[in-house]
Structure 1
Amino acid sequence: MGNQGQVVRIGDTVRRPAGEHSAAVTGLLEHLAAVGFDGAPSVLGRDEEGRDVYGWIEGDVAVPPYPAWALADEALAGTGRLIRRLHDALAGFEAPPGVSWSGERADPRGGQLICHTDVCRENVVFRGGRAIAILDFDFAAPGRPVWDLAMAARMWAPLVTPPPGGDAEAASACARRVALLASAYGLPATDREEFVEAIVEAQKVGTAFVRRRVDAGEPAFVAMWEGRGGAPWFEGVVEWMRAQRQPWLDALDSSSPR
């Protein structure tokens, strides 16, 4: 949402403005290519305007209003499996010296893994109904694997619906999809409680991320903030999530990695 109008496709390339974290992201993407991970953009250098240049990945990306295929269980499960592949590929990554990572959506507890932190529907490429690639690593930062999964759960379950006070059937569907994402990822049983706690914390970090952009007057974020009812709505989501802790744990306990 924040990059609308700044990212452009030219032929088989994608151009986007270079930023303070470009060196870190370049190092990460080059590592992924070196270890054979094909689910991220390739780095092609910089153009004459100083923009970062990446290879175009052919496929389908869901944007609002989301198509039915993007809301289906297989899209969610495929995304979970893709996140796991990404984490496995990044397990041995050593960041280039002197680079800096974004703190916008970073895990407050830190961690050894470099997390994407923004695996929303708009950042996943599908081909033939299969999740094949993750885009936009601008907000990558050190954290725990459960943090990346929690950030994804917020947007893929999705956990902002039902709104505060939503019906029990919708809440049950959310719990089922949280468990489906975790199962497809292969989340160990020992990490389930930490994952559930991370979802609530991720929502707070996500809300703060939105609020900063609202305060800066960014039109898309202002429209979203006002359209959802402002701070009371976002605060209500956090409280709703806290109330879902046990249902989520129950759903996770009844699932098995696949």
Structure 2
Amino acid sequence: MTAEDEALPGGMMNAGAVFRRGDVVERPAPRNARALHIHLRALNEHGFDAAPTPLGLTADGHEQLTFIPGDVALPPFPDWAMTSSALASVGSLLRRLHDTSAAVATDTRAEWLPDLADPQGGTMMCHNDVCPDNVVFRDGRAAALIDFDFAAPGRAVWDVAMTARYWVPMLDPRSAAALYPRGLDAAARLRILADGYGLSAEDRTELPGVIEQATDVCRAFVARRVVGGDPVYLEALAERGGWDRWDRMRTWLVDHRRTFTAALLN
């Protein structure tokens, strides 16, 4: 780091390790960075300009990407990021990504990170981590996605489910209150996200169950890091209510499945 470097906040995995110098962002490279850079360039070549452009890899294990100007919501999430129009724009941006990804050949030989990937797999590359920290806003609308580290082949409905977990959010009110504005109507917001995306009737029927599945995958993701002694996840687990919180979230999702399905379809 030099005096010219600006540390960029946000994220858990790379907290304190992402820096900006002018129009270039430098951050730790994921182990599949070469394949990921090829994918990001292909997205750009197919007209998706709402993601960073890879510039290269350094000898000390970092990647360099173009900086995308705008606003990123960091926890506790501000009101401006949780408006209905902001939520709809996240769905629309995700649909743009998926439409472009469907036209890009997926490298099935690459070792895509399995941590948050769709257990059922798929042929289209999903982002898998469209949380508020990874969406750049301009003028109140989602303008770009960053941090594609967990991208992997999967189903579109899986990526929508993962996005819903973070943006609706699909959390019981007690859990949501720790990071989100109070009074958010989960069922109504799930419908707004699905409408913004243009989700099909078939996928709307399936979505609540896929969200439950995605929650289980996220819990397993945290459990692996806790077992491995990762201090970031150990601290986060303790601060956010431990495993009781995850049990409470799962029960709440199951108890409200019919409500969510009705909101999506009616």
| Alignment TM-score, normalising by the size of structure 1 | 0.91
Q: 2 CA distance for matches of 1:188 and 1:249?
A: 13
Contact 2:127 2:148 in 1 (8 A): yes
Q: 1 CA distance for matches of 2:235 and 2:61?
A: 31
Q: 1:180 aligns with which of 159, 168, 192?
A: 192
Q: 1 CA distance for matches of 2:183 and 2:159?
A: 22
* Residue equivalent to 2:249: 237
Which SS does the other structure have where 1:44 is aligned?
strand
Which SS does the other structure have where 2:253 is aligned?
helix
* Residue equivalent to 1:90: 101
1:88-110 per-residue CA deviation (whole Å, 9 max, x = no partner) reads: 01002113463210100011111
Q: 2 CA distance for matches of 1:183 and 1:29?
A: 26
CA shift for structure 1 position 126? 0.3
CA shift for structure 1 position 209? 1.1
Q: 1 CA distance for matches of 2:184 and 2:140?
A: 25
* Residue equivalent to 2:139: 128
CA shift for structure 1 position 141? 0.8
1:61-113 per-residue CA deviation (whole Å, 9 max, x = no partner) reads: 01012121011111111100000000001002113463210100011111111
Which SS does the other structure have where 1:163 is aligned?
helix
Pairing 1:164-179 to 2, within 5 Å after superposition: 173-179=185-191
Which SS does the other structure have where 1:86 is aligned?
helix
* Residue equivalent to 1:7: 18
Contact 1:150 1:195 in 2 (8 A): yes
Q: Does 1:65 align with 2:80?
A: no
Structure 2, unpaired ranges of 5+: 1-11
CA shift for structure 1 position 50? 3.8
Pairing 1:192-203 to 2, within 5 Å after superposition: 192-203=204-215
Contact 2:190 2:264 in 1 (8 A): yes
Change (3 A) 1:30 1:99: same
Q: 2 CA distance for matches of 1:120 and 1:127?
A: 16
Contact 2:130 2:163 in 1 (8 A): yes
1:111 aligned partner, one-letter code: G
Identity of aligned residues (%): 44
Contact 1:27 1:95 in 2 (8 A): no
1:178 aligned partner, one-letter code: L
CA shift for structure 1 position 48? 4.6
Q: Does 1:32 align with 2:39?
A: no
Q: Does 1:248 align with 2:244?
A: no
Q: 1:147 aligns with which of 150, 155, 158?
A: 158
Q: Does 1:49 align with 2:60?
A: yes
CA shift for structure 1 position 171? 9.0
Contact 2:14 2:28 in 1 (8 A): no
| Alignment TM-score, normalising by the size of structure 2 | 0.89
1:45-72 per-residue CA deviation (whole Å, 9 max, x = no partner) reads: 1235342110000000010121210111
Which SS does the other structure have where 1:38 is aligned?
coil
Q: 2 CA distance for matches of 1:49 and 1:212?
A: 27
Larger mean CA deviation between 151-160 and 16-25 belongs to 16-25
CA shift for structure 1 position 219? 2.8
Q: 1:103 aligns with which of 98, 103, 114?
A: 114
Q: 1 CA distance for matches of 2:241 and 2:29?
A: 34
* Residue equivalent to 2:5: none
Change (3 A) 1:129 1:108: same
Contact 1:163 1:237 in 2 (8 A): no
The root-mean-square deviation of aligned C-alpha atoms, in Å, is: 1.8
What is the count of residue pairs matched by the alignment?
250
1:94 aligned partner, one-letter code: A
Q: 1 CA distance for matches of 2:16 and 2:224?
A: 20
